[in-house]
Amino acid sequence: MVKLKEALESCQEEYFLPGNSCCAGCGLEIALRWAIKALGPKIALVTPASCLNVVVGLWPKTAPNFPFTNMAFAAGAAGATGMSAAFKAKAYRFPGKGWDEITAITFAGDGGTADIGIQGLSGAAERNSDQIYVCYDNEAYMNTGIQRSSSTPHGAWTSTTTKGKDRFKKNLPAIMAAHDMPYVATCSISEPLDLYDKFKKAKSIKGCRYIHIMAPCCTGWGYNSEDTIEIARLAVKTGSWILYEVENGIMKLSKASRPLLDPSKRTPLMDYLSKQKRFANISEKDLIELQEYLDHTWKRIEADLSCQEQYPK
């Protein structure tokens, strides 16, 4: 993994500027800032309707100092597919002008990815469209008033699940990995160097790449804005958010999550939940179900890893 000093030295440049209209302690802002530090300025960003869409789009507080396009809610992956094709056509027509160095990247919320954008995303993945698709996951439709998404966890309060969500979080990275795409990774803003490395790697690969970042939202989850990183860290330490990569079908747990294959190494789930108002009224039944779901998810990962060993590609 890259060292902090090295990462900071190689990315002094800021591409996502301060003074924007993010809430204080916004997880999305940290995710995008580090991702673009790794990718560098030769990118074209596509942002479907979301908090990010508002942050990048409101003059005079436009935050990015690189090209970006606001896109319809469902059309993130389709927009980046078109952009990537246009860059290739330009590179063919005007060789040596650097058009082939530009990466098309979508940065979309969990609603824009797991719900309304999944059709275009699945199509792009199946065609192996040359782009990086990023989902920043704040586990609800935050921009429009904290409505539940398919990425909201079981038992969580949202303005449309006032008694706690009955369904479980959709496992979108697993769905994307099932497309057999060149690169799938999960990240957390509490592990910036891991995130940095994964974006660097994604940049070096051609084809459709998918990165899913856990990006807590103090407004929607109900915690103090200065605790964003701690909350993200607890998501990882409790095993609620698992960090891994799937490269050409081969899964590898990342450093922070690897020890958690041993259940005794996981921080108790309550340490994470009790810090967030969205779980303040979680029922005992939901709590038990959430814990069982988490244990089951880890058992499945363990089984997948051992299957990989038994039947190498």
Ligand X SMILES: Cc1ncc(C[n+]2csc(CCOP(=O)(O)OP(=O)(O)O)c2C)c(N)n1
Binding region for ligand X (CB under 6 A): 49-52, 73, 109-112, 138, 141-144, 149
Q: Which has the closest alpha carbon to 198: 233, 234, 247?
A: 247
Q: Which is nearer to ligand X, 79 or 239 (CB)?
A: 79
Q: Which does 231 bind (CB under 5 to 8 A by kind): Mg ion, ligand X, none?
A: none
Q: Which is nearer to ligand X, 144 or 274 (CB)?
A: 144
Interface mask (CB under 5 A) for Mg ion, residues 115-154, using x and -? -----------------------x---x------------
Q: Which is nearer to ligand X, 145 or 249 (CB)?
A: 145
CB of 189 to ligand X, least distance (A): 14
Q: Which does 112 bind (CB under 5 to 8 A by kind): ligand X, Mg ion, none?
A: ligand X
Q: Which is nearer to ligand X, 52 or 187 (CB)?
A: 52
Q: Which does 49 bind (CB under 5 to 8 A by kind): Mg ion, ligand X, none?
A: ligand X
Q: Which is nearer to ligand X, 71 or 195 (CB)?
A: 71
Distance CA 131, CA 76 (A): 11
47 belongs to the binding site for Mg ion (CB under 5 A)? no
CB of 160 to ligand X, least distance (A): 11
Q: Which does 144 bind (CB under 5 to 8 A by kind): Mg ion, ligand X, none?
A: ligand X
* 131-137/68-71 β-pairing: unpaired
Q: Which is nearer to ligand X, 107 or 183 (CB)?
A: 107
Q: Which is nearer to ligand X, 25 or 112 (CB)?
A: 112
Q: Which is nearer to ligand X, 15 or 141 (CB)?
A: 141
**Helix 27-39 and helix 192-204, axial crossing angle in degrees, nearest 10:** 40
Q: State the SS3 of 9-73.
A: HHCCCCCECCCCCCCCCCHHHHHHHHHHHHHCCCEEEEEECCHHHHHHHCCCCCCECCCEEEECC
110 belongs to the binding site for Mg ion (CB under 5 A)? yes
The DSSP annotation for 188-240 comes to: ETT-HHHHHHHHHHHHHS-SEEEEEEE---HHHHTS-GGGHHHHHHHHHHTTS
Q: Which does 182 bind (CB under 5 to 8 A by kind): Mg ion, ligand X, none?
A: none
Residues 108/153, Cβ–Cβ less than 8 Å: no
Stretch that binds Mg ion, among 57-65, 102-110, 250-258, 285-293 (CB under 5 A): 102-110
Looking at beta carbons, which residue is closest to ligand X? 109
Looking at beta carbons, which residue is closest to Mg ion? 109
CB of 298 to ligand X, least distance (A): 26
Distance of CA 74 to the CA centre of its chain: 17
Q: State the SS3 of 163-182.
A: CCCCCCCCCHHHHHHCCCCC
Q: How many CB atoms lie within 10 A of CB 4?
A: 11
Sheet holding 68-71, edge to edge: 68-71, 43-48, 103-109, 131-137, 208-214, 183-188, 244-247, 250-253
CB of 57 to ligand X, least distance (A): 12
Residue type, 175: I
Token pair for 304: 């997948």
Q: Which has the closest alpha carbon to 65: 28, 29, 15, 102?
A: 15
Q: Which of 25, 27, 48, 109 binds Mg ion (CB under 5 A)?
A: 109
Contact positions vs Mg ion (CB under 5 A): 109-110, 138, 142
